[in-house]
Amino acid sequence: GARSAAMGPPPAALPLLLAAAAAAAVSLPDAGPHVNYGWGEPIRLRHLSTASQHRLFSCFLRIGGDGRVDAAGSQSPQSLLEIRAVAVRTVAIKGVRSSRYLCMDEAGRLHGQLRYSTEDCSFEEEIRPDGYNVYKSKKYGISVSLSSAKQRQQFKGKDFLPLSHFLPMINTVPVESTDFGEYSDYSQDFETEVYSSPLETDSMDPFGITSKLSPVKSPSFQK
């Protein structure tokens, strides 16, 4: 009745309202057509963690200010990445600190460049059943990997490439030591309050909006 109306929206609507507020907080002029795909966030701030085959060690993909792409042993400002959908199941990955896009050459070598190239810097994002993501170059069909050139040669043509399965993880680097710039409000307000799990695995739908509305967890699972 009037009392319930005065008390505002029911609790079930709050996650959607929070998601809408978050989307409004980080929507940028060049957000692109992907905001209509129902994934919630047009931009995700994540660290991409990968591990050796027997989990003997793990590391994070890092894009340096000089364009070098390598592995960091722990989360750092340089490993914080902006993952932006540019088409269905296709993303651009940009280092927040370096402002460089992750790109790949024909040999599968990774580098960071300041100017985004649709051909060299677009990656198909596949969410695997185990929760890990694989990012494959749209142009070359090679998976993003932190493996060495020798390993890439050894595994050429095979389905699996070492250090190519990534787990998107939310940021734990103290905000004071990370220059989030325009993302500072987002990182403080929403990373800590909206996310209850330390790991973000269903990365296409960070707020769980799609799973609330339909039994299909993510667009990536639709064949």
Nearest one of 186, 187, 185 to 173, comparing CA atoms = 187
Whole-number pLDDT of residue 52: 83
Whole-number pLDDT of residue 186: 40
Q: Residue 82: how many CA atoms within 13 Å on its side-chain side?
A: 24
Q: Which residue has the tokens 């340096």?
A: 64
Residues 6+ apart with CB under 8 A from 50: 58, 59, 60, 61, 145, 146, 163, 164, 165, 166, 167
Q: Take residue 210 and report the two structure tokens written for it.
A: 């799609």
Instruction: Measure the N-to-C terminal CA separation of the chain; round to a whole number of Å.
Output: 45
Residue 59, φ and ψ in degrees, nearest 5: -155, 175
CATH number of the domain at 172, please.
2.80.10.50
Structural domains of the chain, count: 1
Q: Residue 23: how many CA atoms within 13 Å on its side-chain side?
A: 20
CB atoms within 10 A of CB 159: 6
Give the structural domain span for 187: 2-221
Residues 58, 167, 28, 113, CA torsion sign: positive
Q: Which residue has the tokens 């990182």?
A: 187
Q: What residues form DSSP beta bridges with 81?
A: 46, 95
The pTM of the full predicted model, rounded to 2 decimals, is 0.62
Element (H, E) at 21: helix 14-26
Divide the 223 residues of the chain into consecutive groups of 10 and give the mean pLDDT of each group.
51 53 43 39 89 84 97 95 94 97 96 96 95 94 90 79 92 65 42 35 40 40 39
